[in-house]
Amino acid sequence: MKRIGILGCGVVADYGHSHAIAQTDGLTLAALYDPNPEALARLASRYPEAQAFTDIDAFWRSGLDAVSITSPAPFHLENLRGAAQHGLHVLCEKPLAMTESEIEQMIGIAEGAGILFATALCYRFSPVAQKIKQMVDERWIGEVRSMRLIYLWNLHGKWERDEHGNRFESSRRIGRFEEGGPMVDCGVHQIDLALWWTGSEIIRQQAAASWVEEHDAPGHMWLHMDHASNCHTCIEISYSYAHTAQNPVDLFTYELIGTDGIIRYVRDGWFFEVRNSQGTLQLPGGSEKDFHGMYAAWRDALYTGKLGSLPSAREGLRVTRIARRATEAALATRFRK
């Protein structure tokens, strides 16, 4: 049994990582760490078999094989450094860090320590994403020439309320804007899918953005990417879509346009189909994420010592670089009336 520890017991550890670790054969959720005792206690109450620590040294000494880093991006470097010092393999949430040089530093530390270092790009493991990969590889729609990958949502809503009912902007939301905004936070998944599905590098990119809110990072962004294969991908991501609405709504779609047909996925209702010269095929839909599939791959990596189908840290660096450069380009050309 490989003993896994979680660093950072917030939202994604709660709904994604902890379940998947606990339910994957060959893995056991052995330890939890969070500097915030309340966050730690919330997650620990669901996993009484895991040891819970606010003391990082005690966490490192708890006999682990690997850690999942699910803290905010500004802490990923220090978390990875600690793991490397203790010879523990690392699966780290995206974005891997706040700057390219920090990510390069992390890769250097991991290589020096001889540990596995994977990026938690969990969209790749969704059955929908895997089926699209198979269809693209088998040319179900001929050659893919164009992709539209869209995610418009409210990032859990702008406001929270204190005990007196006064509203304030959610600190988690502010943190995600500070980590880089929608393209760096969510867009890295779509960039990764575009690269993985086509197997083709980006030779040119261009970004546009609008500021619906007063954060440095834009709330709504478009990224246009030309692949070496002659495919063009447009990614549109918003955090400001119905962000103040009492009844928010979102839009999550993939569209792939090929020389012989199209593939369409709409998350709402799990609509998934392919239309080509042979006819129309409705496919079983599913969620856009799959933490269980990712942890099955992580388990295999830990037992074989090879990352296999898991996105490497270098792939995590590649997508973060594209997303940050797009965001920086949008900021540099921001028009203010």
Ligand X SMILES: NC(=O)c1ccc[n+]([C@@H]2O[C@H](COP(=O)([O-])OP(=O)(O)OC[C@H]3O[C@@H](n4cnc5c(N)ncnc54)[C@H](O)[C@@H]3O)[C@@H](O)[C@H]2O)c1
Select from 32-40, 131-139, 161-169, 276-284 the region that touches ligand X (CB under 6 A).
32-40
Encoded one letter per residue, x for contact with ligand X by CB under 6 A and - for no contact, window 280-299 reads ---------x----------
Contact 199, 188 (CB under 8 A): no
Tokens of 334: 């921001």
Single-letter code of the amino acid located at 231: C
In the complex, minimum distance from the CB of residue 14 to ligand X, in angstroms, rounded to a whole number: 7
181-200: contacts with ligand X (CB under 6 A):
185
The rounded distance, in Å, linking the Cα atoms of 239 and 212 is 9
- DSSP, collapsed to helix, strand or coil, labels residue 190 as helix
Q: Does 39 bind ligand X (CB under 6 A)?
A: yes
Nearer to ligand X, 38 or 49 (CB): 38
CB–CB of 22/5 below 8 Å?
Answer: no
What string marks each residue from 87 to 116 as x (binds ligand X by CB under 6 A) or -? Answer: ------x-----------------------
Q: In this complex, which beta carbon is closest to ligand X, that of residue 151 or of residue 222?
A: 151
> How far are the Cα atoms of 184, 186, 246 from residue 221, in angstroms, in the given order?
10, 11, 23
Q: Which is nearer to ligand X, 71 or 238 (CB)?
A: 71
Q: Residue 73 or residue 237: which is nearer to ligand X going by CB?
A: 73
Kindly report the backbone phi and psi dihedral angles of residue 152, in degrees, each rounded to the nearest multiple of 5, phi listed first: -115, 120
Whichever of 23 and 36 has its CB closer to ligand X, that residue is 36
Distance CA 139, CA 121 (A): 24
Q: How big is the site for ligand X, counted in residues (CB under 6 A)?
A: 25
- Residue whose CB is less far from ligand X, 131 or 289: 289
CB of 171 to ligand X, least distance (A): 8
User: Before 95, cis peptide (omega within 30)?
Assistant: yes
- Shortest Cβ 327–ligand X spacing (Å): 14
Q: In Å, how far are 104, 195, 318 from 133, measured between CA atoms? A: 28, 11, 19
Task: Candidates 2, 4, 5, 8: give the one binding ligand X (CB under 6 A).
Answer: 8
Q: Whose CB is nearest to ligand X?
A: 10
Which one, 152 or 274, has the nearer CB to ligand X? 152
Please list the helix, strand and coil fractions of the chain in percent, rounded to the nearest 5, in that order.
Answer: 35, 25, 35
Site for ligand X in 41-80 (CB under 6 A): 70-73, 75, 79
Q: How far apart are the C-alpha atoms of 325 and 328, rounded to whole Å?
A: 5
Q: Is 276 in the site for ligand X (CB under 6 A)?
A: no
Please state whether the peptide bond connecting residue 35 to the residue before it is cis, i.e. omega within 30 degrees of 0: no
Candidates 36, 244, 304, 333; binder of ligand X (CB under 6 A) is 36
5 near 68, Cβ under 8 Å? yes
User: Residues in the site for ligand X, rule: CB under 6 A?
Assistant: 7-13, 33-36, 39, 70-73, 75, 79, 93, 120, 122, 172, 179, 185, 289
